[in-house]
Amino acid sequence: MVVWPVVVVWLTLVIVWESVGRPYADRLLALGAFEPKLIWYAAAKCASAILFGALGGLALASGTPLGMIVGASWLIGSICHTFVYYGANRTILVATMSAAVFWAAAGAFAGFGFTLDAAIAFGSVLSTLSAGAIFLGDRKALLDALEHERLALAVAQQSNAAKSEFLATMSHELRTPLHAVIGYSEMLQETAAEDGRERDVEDHDHVLSASRHLLAMIKEILDLSKLEAGKVILEPSNFSVEGVAREALDTIRPLATARGNRLHLDLGSENFGVVYNDALRLHQCLLNLLSNAVKFTLQGVITLRVRREGERLVFSVEDTGIGIAADTIAILFRPFVQADASITRTHGGAGLGLAISRRLARLMGGDVEARSVLGHGSTFTLSVLAQLETPPCAEPREYKLEQAA
C-alpha cells in the first residue's frame, strides 16, 4: 500500500529533477553534448515520464479500490498531457507513452495479480491510449485539410488581386479605343446628316449606342476592380445636397421619359446644413440607383427622397416597377448578379451597379439597403456621412472559398 513516506520521497525526487536534473539535461542538449539530439531529448522526456508515472504505478500497486481509481486517473492524465505536448513528434511520443504503459501494467498486476480487476485497471489506461491515437489521426487529417484550404485561399486571393490590379491599370488602354470609335462615329454622323443620308445617320446611331453601352459596362468593371484593388480614394468637399440630387435626376430624365416614367424629388422641409463628402461618388451612387429604378419601371413613378438623420444623409429611391422577390434581395449586391437570369436578357446590364454603390457608400460612411414587394415596386436607401472626417481608401477585398462576393 502506498504510504505517505513513499509519496514524500517521490515528491522530493520530482522537485529535484524539475529544478536541477531536467534544466541541466536541456543545457547539455543545447550545447550539443549528445548526438543525435532528438534521441537524447526523447530519453530525457522518458525519464521525466517514468518519474511522474511512478505515483500512478504505486497507487495501483496498493491493491485497493481507491488506489485503482487514483492510479488509473493519474496515468490517464499523464497520457493526455503527453498527447497534447508531444503528439507532433512520434519519437518523443513513443518514449514518454511507454513509461505510462509500463507503470499501468506493473502497478495493476503487482497490486491485483492476474485478475479481472487488474485487467480493468490496465484496460482503462490502454483505452485512453487508443483514443489518443485516433485523436492524432483525426488531428493530422484536420490540419492537412486546413492547410489545403489555406493554400487554396491564398491562391484565390493572389489571382483576384492580380486580376484587379491588371484591370485597374488598364483603364486608359480599354477606354481609349472606344472613345476613338465614338468620336469618329459622331463626326461621320454629322457628315451624313449634312449630306442628307438618313440611312447612314441611323446606322451611326446604332454604332454610337452600342459603343456607349459598352463603354459604360467597361467603366463599371473598372470601378469594381479599383475598389477591390484598394485604388479608390475619396475626394471630399463641401457641396449642395439639393444640387447633387437635382443633377442626378436631370441626368436620368431622358431615359425615364423614354420609358414613360415620371420623376419626383422630395427634399422635405429640412435644412441639410454644410455637407462635406465626395459629391462625385455620391452622384455616381444615385445614378446607379435611379438608372436601376428606371430600367425596371415602365410608365410608372420614381421618387427620390432626401432626409438628414443625425449625422447621416439618407437618399431613398422609390419606384413602382416590377419589384423583387424577397428571397433574391440578399444576392442583389453581389458582383455580376441580378435577381433573375432573364433580367439580363430583357433589360441588359452587367449586374455591377448595386455592388459598386454599396462599396462606395460604405467608403463614405454609410450603406445601401433594399426592400421590395414583388409586383409592387422597390425602395433602395443610400446613406452617407454628412461630415466625412478622414477620407478612407478602399481596402483590397478578401475572398472566401465558399463565396466570391
Which DSSP helix (H) or strand (E) runs through 264?
A: strand 262-266
Nearest to 223 by CA among 36, 394, 399, 52: 394
C-alpha cell at 89: 513528434
Do 123 and 194 reside in the same domain of the chain? no
- CATH number, residue 288: 3.30.565.10
Which DSSP helix (H) or strand (E) runs through 78?
A: helix 65-86
Is it true that the peptide bond before 335 is cis, omega within 30 degrees of 0? Answer: no
Phi first, then psi, for residue 311 (nearest 5°) are -90, 5
pLDDT tens by residue, 290-347 = 999 999 999 999 999 999 998 999 999 999 999 888 888 878 888 766 655 555 444 4
Mean pLDDT of the 12-24 span: 77
Residue 340: inside a domain, yes or no? yes
pLDDT at 28 over 50: yes
Residue 405: inside a domain, yes or no? no
* Contact between 6 and 58 (Cβ < 8 Å): yes
Pairing state between β 378-385 and 367-372 = antiparallel
Query: Cα separation of 266 and 297, whole Å?
Result: 19
Q: What pLDDT was estimated at residue 11?
A: 76
pLDDT tens by residue, 102-135 = 888 888 888 888 888 888 888 888 887 777 777 7
Residues comprising the chain, all counted: 405
* Contact between 293 and 257 (Cβ < 8 Å): no
Would you call 377 exposed, middle or buried from its count of C-beta atoms within 10 A (0-12, 13-18, 19+)? buried
- The single-letter DSSP state of residue 334 is S
* Cβ neighbours around 105 below 10 Å, total: 17
Least confident of 26-35, 92-101, 109-118, 168-177: 26-35
Do 190 and 259 reside in the same domain of the chain? no
Q: What pLDDT was estimated at residue 393?
A: 53
Do 131 and 201 reside in the same domain of the chain? no
Do 63 and 176 reside in the same domain of the chain? no
pLDDT at 221 over 90: no
Do 361 and 344 reside in the same domain of the chain? yes
pLDDT tens by residue, 356-405 = 899 999 999 999 999 998 888 999 999 999 998 765 555 544 433 333 33
Q: How confident is the model at residue 212 (pLDDT cuts 50, 70, 90)?
A: confident
Task: List, as one string, the DSSP characters of 273-311.
Answer: --EEE-HHHHHHHHHHHHHHHHHT-SS-EEEEEEEEETT
Q: What pLDDT was estimated at residue 303?
A: 96
* Cβ neighbours around 106 below 10 Å, total: 17
- Contacts of residue 114, Cβ cutoff 8 Å, sequence gap at least 6: none
Q: What pLDDT was estimated at residue 77?
A: 82
Question: Which residue is it, cell 483505452?
Answer: 127
Least confident of 27-31, 85-89, 324-328: 27-31
Do 14 and 128 reside in the same domain of the chain? yes
Residue 157: inside a domain, yes or no? no
Do 116 and 206 reside in the same domain of the chain? no
Higher pLDDT, 37 or 68: 68
* Cβ neighbours around 325 below 10 Å, total: 12
Q: What pLDDT was estimated at residue 60?
A: 83
Q: What pLDDT was estimated at residue 379?
A: 95
pLDDT tens by residue, 74-84 = 888 888 877 77
Degrees to nearest 5, angle at CA 205 with 204 and 206: 90
Q: Is the dihedral of CA 60, 66, 70, 76 positive or negative?
A: positive
Do 64 and 194 reside in the same domain of the chain? no
Do 71 and 201 reside in the same domain of the chain? no
Residue 398: inside a domain, yes or no? no
Tally the domains of the chain. 3
Mean pLDDT of the 172-194 span: 84
In the predicted model, what is the mean pLDDT of the chain? 81
Query: Cα separation of 170 and 180, whole Å?
Result: 16
Q: What pLDDT was estimated at residue 56?
A: 83
Do 268 and 175 reside in the same domain of the chain? no
Residue 161: inside a domain, yes or no? no
Degrees to nearest 5, angle at CA 238 with 237 and 242: 125
- Contacts of residue 396, Cβ cutoff 8 Å, sequence gap at least 6: 161, 164, 228, 229, 230
Do 242 and 218 reside in the same domain of the chain? no
Residue 361: inside a domain, yes or no? yes
Q: What pLDDT was estimated at residue 244?
A: 93
pLDDT tens by residue, 223-262 = 777 777 677 788 899 999 999 999 999 989 989 999 999 9
Do 224 and 257 reside in the same domain of the chain? no
CA distances from 374 to 291, 320, 361, 377 (A): 19, 10, 25, 7
pLDDT at 34 over 70: no
Residue where one domain finishes, among candidates 229, 246, 261 = 229
* Contact between 382 and 287 (Cβ < 8 Å): no
Residue 119: inside a domain, yes or no? yes
Beta-strand ranges (E) seen in 310-392 are: 312-319, 367-372, 378-385
Q: How confident is the model at residue 1 (pLDDT cuts 50, 70, 90)?
A: very low
Q: What pLDDT was estimated at residue 400?
A: 37
pLDDT at 100 over 70: yes
Q: Is the dihedral of CA 148, 150, 153, 157 positive or negative?
A: negative
- pTM score > 0.75 for this model? no
Residue 403: inside a domain, yes or no? no
pLDDT at 353 over 50: yes
Domain carrying residue 255? 237-385
CA 5 to chain CA centroid, Å, is 60
Instruction: Indicate the SS3 state at residue 323.
Output: coil
* Contact between 355 and 380 (Cβ < 8 Å): no
